[in-house]
């Protein structure tokens, strides 16, 4: 056994400060002073007193006296269904209002690919949001990085599927898409946030950004089905832009929520 093997055991094995080491690790420690010193230091907790204080004992009594049964959160699948249902409803409403002109303009490959990409991104975000409602959940991707991963992936798909075309009225047509997509994103964000409030959101900014992006994707999906402008620059800037603006809006909403909770807690503590 060498130093690297010992470190792997120490990291990957469930070794706390009181666990005995395996025999091969003991043998290595007899010959390697560097590892011996490190292991000794990490297995020597300080001599500080860590017994619960009197205040904590009192808190335990107070909590016990003011205890009511609570209903645990519904299964994760139900919340995933809720997010998916809200997403689908907003898209259906938008398509009903705006029509499906883009589906006629796109080829079958383009329409199936872009819609599948949007659905996959939506599912990924919805799944992450469900896990973000419960502290200590397992995450496939770190929530703080997920919005960026989704936006970059979607942009790559769009870049592969569509080509640059000359546009006469880039800004005019773009603003029209924003006027259609952003209200839908806002309409989706509100029920998303109401569902999320049932859980315990530990990082309002990250959760807000993810929820905002999911809401923005609903707006983007409607635009992809409705808007017959297949220019790559138009889609990247204005359609995907709705999602980006949704993420930024959600991030701002999360930051505001965090500030409000902090101020409320401060008022509760200070007389």
By CB under 8 A, name the binding residues for other proteins.
7, 10-12, 14-18, 20-21, 26, 29-30, 34, 36-38, 40-48, 50-53, 55-56, 59-61, 63-65, 67-73, 76, 132-144, 199-200, 202-203, 262, 265-266
Task: Pick between residue 48 and residue 179 the one whose CB is nearest to other proteins.
Answer: 48
The strand pairing partners of 170, in sequence order, are none
Q: Which of 106, 107, 119 is nearest to 230 (CA)?
A: 106
Task: Pick between residue 101 and residue 144 the one whose CB is nearest to other proteins.
Answer: 144
Task: Pick between residue 73 and residue 237 the one whose CB is nearest to other proteins.
Answer: 73
Task: Pick between residue 73 and residue 248 the one whose CB is nearest to other proteins.
Answer: 73
Q: How far is the CB of 129 from other proteins (least distance, A)?
A: 13
Task: Pick between residue 37 and residue 101 the one whose CB is nearest to other proteins.
Answer: 37
19-31 burial, b for 16+ CB within 10 Å, e for fewer?
eebeeebeebbee
Q: How far is the CB of 123 from other proteins (least distance, A)?
A: 19
Q: How far is the CB of 56 from other proteins (least distance, A)?
A: 6
Q: How far is the CB of 166 from other proteins (least distance, A)?
A: 44
Q: How far is the CB of 262 from other proteins (least distance, A)?
A: 6
């Amino acid at each position: 056994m060498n130093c690297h093997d010992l470190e792997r055991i120490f990291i990957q094995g469930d070794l706390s400060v009181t666990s005995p080491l395996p025999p091969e690790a003991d043998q290595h420690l007899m010959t390697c002073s560097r590892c011996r010193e490190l292991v000794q230091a990490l297995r020597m907790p300080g001599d500080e007193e860590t017994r619960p204080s009197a205040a904590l004992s009192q808190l335990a009594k107070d909590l016990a006296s003011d205890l009511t049964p609570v209903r645990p959160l519904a299964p994760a699948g139900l919340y995933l269904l809720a997010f998916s249902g809200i997403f689908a409803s907003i898209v259906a409403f938008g398509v009903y209002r705006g029509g499906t002109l883009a589906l006629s303009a796109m080829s079958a490959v383009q329409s199936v690919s872009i819609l599948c990409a949007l659905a996959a991104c939506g599912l990924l975000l919805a799944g992450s949001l469900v896990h973000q409602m419960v502290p200590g959940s397992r995450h496939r991707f770190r929530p703080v990085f997920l919005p960026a991963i989704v936006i970059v992936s979607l942009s790559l798909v769009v870049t592969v599927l569509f080509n640059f075309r000359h546009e006469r009225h880039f800004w005019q047509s773009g603003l029209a898409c924003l006027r259609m997509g952003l209200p839908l994103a806002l309409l989706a964000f509100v029920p998303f946030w109401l569902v999320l409030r049932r859980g315990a959101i530990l990082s309002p900014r990250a959760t807000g950004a993810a929820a905002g992006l999911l809401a923005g994707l609903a707006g983007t999906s409607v635009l992809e089905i409705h808007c017959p402008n297949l220019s790559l620059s138009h889609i990247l800037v204005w359609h995907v832009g709705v999602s980006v603006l949704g993420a930024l809006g959600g991030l701002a909403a999360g930051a505001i929520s965090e500030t409000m909770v902090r101020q409320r807690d401060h008022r509760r503590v200070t007389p």
